[in-house]
Structure 1
Amino acid sequence: MNGKKIIAALGPLLAACALLGALLFSPIKQSDKPSDKVLSKSAASMSVNVIRGNMLKNTAMATGRFIPFFGSSEYSRIDAFHPTVLARKYQRPYEPFLLGAAGTQSLTHFFMLQSMSKELQNKQAVFIISPQWFVKDGISDGMFSLYYSPLQVNGWLLSLEHIGPDEMYAADRLLSFSSIQSDTTMKTYLKKIAGGSPLSDSEKAACRRTYRLLSREDALFSRINLKNKEEKIAKAVSKLPDDYNQSSLDKLAVAEGKRAIGDNQFGISTHFYQQRIAPMKKKLKGAQQKYNYLQSPEYADFQLVLDELAKNNVNVLFVIPPVNGKWSDYTGLSTEMLDTFSKKIKKQLTSQGFTNIADFTQQRYMPYFMEDTIHLGWRGWLATDHALQEFLNKPSDRQLQYHTAPAYYLSKDWCNDQAIH
């Protein structure tokens, strides 16, 4: 192929690359803020680019119209009792912004929180704590890497005014993941922080350049490929009665649950049972006897979240969902251990001033409370909504009485403590 043909073939690609480079490195700020429609779409999307980015969620939080709902995969199934659906149907003065997806855990939430600390100051939030996060090694390398945000971590590095226990722990924890180990520059920065040393002026300048570039990329591409759940939400809204009444809604939740579950022995949705349980049911009997949610680095990762919430005076409702009782009986998952997990996580919360807790651990056998083995279902979401309305109606225009103890709750002694009183 001669030179002219090569230029003709590569010309459009080179032009596109040049245009993209100009957009990314241009000193001109992007002034095109996302519309209300885009913000609402992103609030329900649970898309990776929303979780890893800043523009959409930060813009939404700054409006005061959205309440962040931190959690994981429980938000993914849209039914008539999902927080987004109830808020839409009954014209609540807020809209849930779902900050979580399958595999998101405390460490991901910490960096999301830190990246919008200004927008969340003195506001309210909901945080669903899943017991199954607290396994021996905490969040897996694959799940952390999926949601790892260089934008948010660079922003965190630039925000550091001093190096304390939180900063050293977070840096050391990040260094355990392959996505960090493959980034030589980031690894160098984090080793300094983990050792208690601040970044140099030149390192901060380089970090700032990277942050600006990633911010421009976020502004340009964060709205692309947002998951659109509007049709599912509208369909679910249509099933609800016009007036909000706890008793009548509970009857509807029971009816919806009955339709979805059928007659399987675990009281879970037929679709989930047929797809995930039935093909390997025999192998699952007694398979979780050795599971232990009482020893995990996740407790320290969760402490990072609490310290960040306290720092910004965020008023939070914490929700502890149960594990389906019929399922745990079959798999051998210890209910005693799950009860102790509830005591342990509530001790970490209440001892530091986080007292708004909806603990549903004992609802493990309530029919239609769970949609499957570990996720809230029809009556579970309704109970969560009831707790949420009580929480939101409490006076919140005061300085919250937080008194965090990171030195203790970041320690291996606490992470491994199983003797909770």
Structure 2
Amino acid sequence: MSFKKKLFTTIGPLVLAFGILGGIFLSPFKFSETSPKVIEEASTSMAVNVIKGNILKNKAMGTGEYVPFFGSSELSRFNAFHPSVLATKYDRNYRPFLLGAAGTQSLSQFLMLQSMADEMVGKKAVFIISPQWFVKGGVSKEMFSLYFSPLQTYQWAKHVDQIGDSEIYTAKRLLKFSSVRSDTTMKTLLSQIAQGKPLSTTQKKLCQVKLNVLNREDELFGHLGMLGKQGKIKKEEKLLPANYDLDQLDKLAFRIGEDSTKSNKFQITDNFYKKRIVPVQNSLKGSQKDFDYRQSPEFGDFQLFLAEVARLKMDVLFVIPPVNARWSEYTGLSTEMLDQFSLKINKQLKDQGFDNVLDFTQDRGEDYFMEDTIHIGWRGWVALDKVVAPFLAEPESERPNYHLNSYYFSKEWKKLRPSEIN
């Protein structure tokens, strides 16, 4: 056998395999379809692939059946009164699509929202703001990296035409993370936008090449590792009365909460308390006395989300959950600080026309309102549904009148003490 034939025999299959793989990733043709069943599973999975991807959530938004619920770990607290359970049980005209998990914060949620822009103009959404996001350093590098989506970031960069405060802030903020800077192409593009310089036609074509590969990857692998909560929903909805009645639901929530928290005085679920609290309880007494949510980069990241809501003319219900008062008294977490956080975030929202705010800060001591230390529980979900259900009953509403203020991107606002607010 000649040398050329031997060489072809050795590397030919490898070249062919790379050629086929390249064809799959770069081909404009679709190799799979997202069935209603797959979308249903995705809507309650809170899987990393779903959060970082586009195909499943965007397809869901295009059906008109799903409404995005942005948040973090509270979305995973499934009980009979969870929004997904209530919407299924009472055959609502919407189904929540849960966009968040433990560690997702405003920056990731902004990237998610802008990646759904074509489907979200004039639409409604629910956004749960966790005070715990607003720590001194903002979102941690580890958590941001876990949910960082190159797909959504290249998509954002490609569509930047006019550069303003929002675009410059986004680019500069993203460049602070090593998971972003490690992509040299992305680093170059973002650095240019951060300097206020638009991308060239060639650079936008480069973004599209990257997007072609990332979109194909999302299409092929975006559904992997996805475990929906449909079984849990079916189990929990059996506990609910046949007809929707808020008073009846609240009484039921009280009873279930009472039965679920018999092991402790904090009204924390027995399982969570025994596994997560008991082994370290003594060390947690007074441990949160220095926690502060009033000065944080998160206020700027949150402003990004607000700017995108305004651009898309969306109507969003913003929800501020409380912290379990019984637990915060034990750990020393300042209720005065939490009240001041509420003042500051409400100022940022309402000063710019985001008036649809459901603030539960003062419900911190309500019985069985919380499921554990910081997450909404039985009666909390019922109280939320009292507002969410009528809000989402009509898919369209009058377009809100927003008036954005770039001051809320500033270092001055992030560091401003609520006591200094006029």
Q: TM-score range by the shorter chain?
A: over 0.9
- Structure 2 residue aligned with 1:177: 177
1:290 partner amino acid: D
TM-score, normalisation: structure 1:
0.95
Q: CA deviation at 1:11?
A: 9.3
Residues 157, 16 of structure 1: alpha-carbon distance in 2 compared, 3 angstrom cutoff: same
| Unaligned runs of at least 5 residues, structure 1 | none
Q: Distance in 2 between matches of 1:394 and 1:230?
A: 25
* Alpha-carbon offset, residue 350 of structure 1: 0.7
Rate the CA distance shift 1:157–1:262 in 2: closer, same or farther, 3 A. same
Residues 323 and 364, structure 1, Cα contact 8 Å, conserved in 2: yes
Alignment map for 1:326-365 (pairs within 5 Å): 326-365=326-365
Aligned match of 1:211: 211
Which has the larger displacement, 100-109 or 8-17? 8-17
SS in 2 for 1:318: strand
Q: Distance in 2 between matches of 1:331 and 1:12?
A: 63
- Other-structure match for 1:399: 399
Is 1:25 equivalent to 2:41 in the alignment?
no
5+ unaligned residues in a row in structure 2: which ranges?
none
- Cα distance, 1:19–1:78 mapped onto 2, change above 3 Å: farther
In the TM superposition, residue 251 of structure 1 has moved relative to its aligned partner by 1.3
In structure 1, the partner of 2:125 is 125
**Structure 1 counterpart of 2:303:** 303
Write the letter of the residue equivalent to 1:381. W
Equivalent position of 1:382 in the other structure? 382
Matches of 1:95 and 1:117, distance apart in 2: 19
Q: Give the conservation status (yes or no) of the 8 Å contact 2:315–2:397.
A: no
Q: Are the counterparts in 2 of residues 60 and 66 from structure 1 also a CA contact under 8 Å? A: yes
Deviation at 1:413, TM superposition (A): 0.8
Structure 2 letter corresponding to 1:347: K
- Measured in 1, the distance between the counterparts of 2:92 and 2:286 equals 44
Task: Give me the whole-angstrom Cα distance separating, in 1, the residues matched to 2:108 and 2:298.
Answer: 11
Q: CA RMSD in A?
A: 2.1
Cα distance in 1 for partners of 2:202, 2:313 equals 33
- Counterpart of 2:64? 64
Number of the residue aligned with 1:324? 324
1: CA distance, partners of 2:91 / 2:11:
53
CA contact (8 A) 2:32 2:220 kept: no
CA displacement at 1:200 relative to structure 2:
2.2
- The aligned runs of 1:43-58 (5 Å cut-off) are 43-58=43-58
Q: How far apart, CA to CA, are the structure 2 residues paired with 1:344 and 1:378?
A: 27
- How is 1:17-416 mapped onto 2 (pairs within 5 angstroms)? 18-26=19-27, 28-30=28-30, 32-393=32-393, 396-405=396-405, 407-416=406-415
Q: Relative to structure 1, is the Cα distance of residues 236 and 196 closer, same or farther in structure 2, using a 3 angstrom cutoff?
A: same
Q: In structure 2, the residue corresponding to 1:279 is in which secondary structure?
A: helix
- Corresponding residue pairs, total: 417
Distance 1:9 1:270, change over 3 A: farther
- In 2, distance between residues paired with 1:88 and 1:259? 24
State the secondary structure of the residue aligned to 2:316.
strand
Change (3 A) 1:162 1:282: same
Tell me the secondary structure at the aligned position of residue 340 of structure 1: helix
Counterpart code for 1:23:
I
TM-score normalised according to structure 2 size: 0.94
**Identical amino acids, percent of aligned pairs:** 54
Contact 1:356–1:391 (Cα < 8 Å) also in 2: no
